[in-house]
Structure 1
Amino acid sequence: MAFDKQQLKRVEDEIQRDIDRGFNDGVNIIVAQGGEIALQGTYGFAERATGRESKRDDVYRILSLSKGFTNGVIYRALSEGKLALSTRVIDIIPEFMGTDPFHMMRKDQINLWNLLTHTSGMPSTPNPGLGPDGFGNLSNVIAALGAVDAVHDPGTQVNYAPSINHALMGEMARRVYGYDHFRDLTNDLIFEPLGMTDTAFGLPAEREDRVVPLKVYVDPEGFLSADDIECLNDVIAGENEMPWVGATTTIDDTFKWVELLRRKGELNGEQLIGKSIIEEAARIQTGDMMNDLYTVVNQGRGWPAPKGNIGLGVVVSGEGHAPNMFGPFVNPAAFGNNGAGSTLYWVDPVNDVTFTFLSSGVLDEADNVERFQRISTMVAAAIV
């Protein structure tokens, strides 16, 4: 099995056309099969307004793609017996219950499986109990969440959680491993073993000159405003640690993580993460439940509503033709993560293919779905 080179050239041409028409500003992409890179490209601008061209070693604020790295820490904790899918949040974070006894009806039921599958019933909000000025301190976020109530019974609905679920997972992992800081935990358990030397939660000072600023092109009437995202230029900085949105990385480092997923947790002949954990993570956990957030996104364009197709922390391609970021021609077993309007990776375990894509210029989410459906389909069409 291999790739059609002419079709991969069409992928590059399509990316450049998007940039030329001002759809987004710049892209770094890697497409590989069996770990062998078939396409690696750098296009357009890291910052269009200043004419700064994209470079391969650009450092991106990857928004919700950060959740993938938090997932990785949880996968290790599951592999090592430090957590179970049935572990309740309050078993590790008792103050999550808050002081109102009426919260007992829902919050005491939320477990790790609910967090991973976006079925916790917690609000689908980008603000985890406090605003952006407080995002960077995980302890303050967790304290604030004690006063935030569940809005649905756990396990009854899929509603993508932009912040709360992964904030809780990051804190659960920090506590069971006994670390003072989540950023150090992810470095020791994921980034350092994989050689991801340009990746961190926060932004080390020595990488500030390579960082790509968040520039947003969204519908003012959409779910998120430009200010909701561009404010993160100041928040994803220094030693701030946000397990849901706060990682910075490069295309090559992200590819190392995606390759670990393709290899089902194997690294240099040893299992960094249990194979069975990755296989179960890549299996749809949410049945026929729809994804409430993306149902709204699709309805705004007159598109069919998508099923949730949530695994353990990842989205699975699944069957059907409702628009999503994988498109209808990537293998149904493919799985991955994405970040608002800008980033995506997926692993096709059947064809042994990985797709890693970081871009500058944050799109409206419906535009982002359209873009990634189109590009993912073109990559799928290149597999021969």
Structure 2
Amino acid sequence: MPHGLDRRSLIKGAALSAALLMPASAGAVQKQPAAQQGGSGKPGSNAMGNFSADRLDRMRKTMAGYVERGVVPGLVWAVDRGGETHVEAVGSQAFDDPTPMRRDSIFRIASLTKPVTAAAAMILVEEGRLRLDDPVDQWLPELAGRKVLKAVDGRLDDTVPASRPVTLRDLLTLRFGLGAIMVYPIRYPLQQAMQDAGVAPSADLFRGPPDEFMKRIGSLPLAHQPGEGWLYHTGMDVAGVLIARAAGQSLSAFMNERIFSPLGMKDTGFEVLAEKTDRLTTAYSRDFQTGKLGVYDQAKGGRFASPAAFEAGGGGLVSTADDYLAFQKMMLGKGRLGDERILSRAAVELMTTDQLTAEQRDSARTFFNGNSGWGLGMAVALKRDNLWMTPGRFGWDGGYGTSAYADPAEGLAGILLTQRLMESPEPPAYYVDFWNSAYQALA
């Protein structure tokens, strides 16, 4: 824990930036009588071999307990290993609505967007339309001629010129110079300036057009020289704008054409169409003053029920368990799922290899816990200190209550979808129990 901070301040600030949280107030739980279970990857087959049936049942009871105790209104989770897929849905889509949670319920996946944005960027790299180490100034002139603070806590005008231009690699590794500065309550001029400009990492995604977002980003000095320090989140939002400009189409159109449609991800995007809002879950957050849960975002008429002015590459997607599992299986397949090749083997291996120095990892222990690093758009496990921390495991968590990782050593992909916003960088108990349960269930 950073020195000089009380736990409440740390949790509130970290949740706003790292977990994308905003507070609200609560209701009563509606329980679904039984979980909906998806069988193996073969239609009509209940054969199992990659998982223990008894231990899957233990997993089911463990996760359903969070609904029974009113911690969350519902959950959807999925695990896949060797083509054997199990998907479970339990509870309801809202505390005050008996609509049962479904296998195809739609969730705001927040930072699970980041790996998808990185994949989109690497498609352009493979086609030669972008290069990892070329300056991005051609596409993002707002980032040309950067100024860098002499000290991260210094005055906004106390700067030196950037030692080199910002690159795509800087954006995808979150080392371009702007992001969440984990000092709370806010007291650095740059933190305040990002907040005043509306571009500080938070649960409230930027709502203006991409050009306005870049104008505001371009008005700020960098906290460190490009490539020299790791700051969470903002680089992926900037990368999303870069992808759209380089591709000559919106980020959503490019992702749909090159990733979602080929992989059959029919419910993934930056908005929920009117005919699908009955499947969008209500999002909840905790009020730090009262301690109560309340509605953060409604399904109908909420923030994701209309087209997004800013398609946030760092946290703006919605998806379902099966959709995101398809993306994970493509990544486990070294860029290929079935007959569809999205990326090369080399691109996936680069994305899932730690890119940080030891000093950069140590400076962000709130995020990496001494056991992980960061590749391109996602975390990479480096040390086994938990059941689930197999070296090489990759993925990330989303502040709206989601967690998705894939483990090449075990051939395992898993995703947990909830609608309760995270309250600190520490994983909630249901994240821990989900991943413990998934690994203990391996045959």
| TM-score category (smaller protein) | 0.7 to 0.9
Alignment of 1:86-235 (within 5 A): 86-97=133-144, 105-106=161-162, 108-124=164-180, 129-130=197-198, 132=204, 134-161=206-233, 164-179=234-249, 181-217=250-286, 219=288, 230=297, 234-235=302-303
How far has the Cα of 1:236 moved from its partner? 3.0
How far has the Cα of 1:281 moved from its partner? 1.0
Greater helix share, structure number: 1
How far has the Cα of 1:25 moved from its partner? 2.4
User: Which of these two proteins has the greater Rg computed from alpha carbons?
Assistant: 2
Structure 2 gap segments, 5+ residues each: 1-48, 149-156, 182-193
**Contact persistence 1:258–1:356 (CA under 8 A):** no
Q: Partners of 1:376 and 1:133 in 2: how far apart?
A: 28
1:336 aligns with 2:405: no
State the match for 1:239 in structure 2.
307
> What letter matches 2:380 in structure 1?
V
**Bigger mean CA offset, 191-200 vs 237-246:** 237-246
Q: Partners of 1:333 and 1:251 in 2: how far apart?
A: 22
C-alpha distance 351-127 of structure 1, shift in aligned 2 (>3 A)? farther
**Contact persistence 1:160–1:291 (CA under 8 A):** no
C-alpha distance 29-128 of structure 1, shift in aligned 2 (>3 A)? farther
1:33 aligns with 2:81: yes
Q: Partners of 1:77 and 1:137 in 2: how far apart?
A: 22
How far has the Cα of 1:248 moved from its partner? 1.4
Q: Partners of 1:226 and 1:81 in 2: how far apart?
A: 48
**SS of the residue 1:40 aligns to:** strand
Decide which of 50, 55, 59 is 1:7's aligned counterpart.
55
1:232-282 Cα offsets, whole Å, 9 max, x none, are 984333221222221111111111111111111113335321110001111
1:57 aligns with 2:121: no
Q: Partners of 1:285 and 1:78 in 2: how far apart?
A: 17
**SS of the residue 1:172 aligns to:** helix
1:50-92 Cα offsets, whole Å, 9 max, x none, are 3332111211111111222212211211222222221323242
Alignment of 1:203-352 (within 5 A): 203-217=272-286, 219=288, 230=297, 234-240=302-308, 241-288=311-358, 289-290=360-361, 292=363, 295=366, 305-321=369-385, 327-352=386-411
How far has the Cα of 1:378 moved from its partner? 2.1
**Contact persistence 2:171–2:235 (CA under 8 A):** yes
Overall identity of the aligned pairs, in %: 22
> What RMSD in Å do the two structures reach over aligned CA positions?
3.1
> What letter matches 1:113 in structure 2?
R
C-alpha distance 275-187 of structure 1, shift in aligned 2 (>3 A)? same
Q: Partners of 2:247 and 2:294 in 1: how far apart?
A: 35
C-alpha distance 130-228 of structure 1, shift in aligned 2 (>3 A)? farther
**Contact persistence 1:204–1:237 (CA under 8 A):** yes
Q: Partners of 1:128 and 1:273 in 2: how far apart?
A: 39
C-alpha distance 123-32 of structure 1, shift in aligned 2 (>3 A)? closer
> What letter matches 2:129 in structure 1?
K
State the match for 2:118 in structure 1.
71
**SS of the residue 1:92 aligns to:** coil
How far has the Cα of 1:315 moved from its partner? 0.6
Q: Partners of 1:235 and 1:379 in 2: how far apart?
A: 32
How many residues are treated as equivalent by the alignment?
366
> What letter matches 1:268 in structure 2?
G
State the match for 1:302 in structure 2.
none
C-alpha distance 73-62 of structure 1, shift in aligned 2 (>3 A)? same
**Bigger mean CA offset, 248-257 vs 202-211:** 202-211
1:21 aligns with 2:69: yes
- TM-score in terms of structure 1 length: 0.85
Q: Partners of 2:274 and 2:441 in 1: how far apart?
A: 40
C-alpha distance 292-12 of structure 1, shift in aligned 2 (>3 A)? farther
How far has the Cα of 1:337 moved from its partner? 2.2
How far has the Cα of 1:23 moved from its partner? 2.4
Q: Partners of 1:23 and 1:231 in 2: how far apart?
A: 18
1:278-322 Cα offsets, whole Å, 9 max, x none, are 011111111423365652x79xxxxxx43551011111122053x
Structure 1 gap segments, 5+ residues each: 299-304, 322-326
> What letter matches 2:67 in structure 1?
I
**Contact persistence 1:67–1:243 (CA under 8 A):** yes
> What letter matches 1:145 in structure 2?
I
Q: Partners of 1:159 and 1:62 in 2: how far apart?
A: 21
1:20-65 Cα offsets, whole Å, 9 max, x none, are 222222111111112221x210011210123332111211111111
State the match for 2:417 in structure 1.
358
> What letter matches 2:266 in structure 1?
T
C-alpha distance 188-165 of structure 1, shift in aligned 2 (>3 A)? same
1:199-239 Cα offsets, whole Å, 9 max, x none, are 111222222222112111364599xx989964998433322
C-alpha distance 100-272 of structure 1, shift in aligned 2 (>3 A)? closer
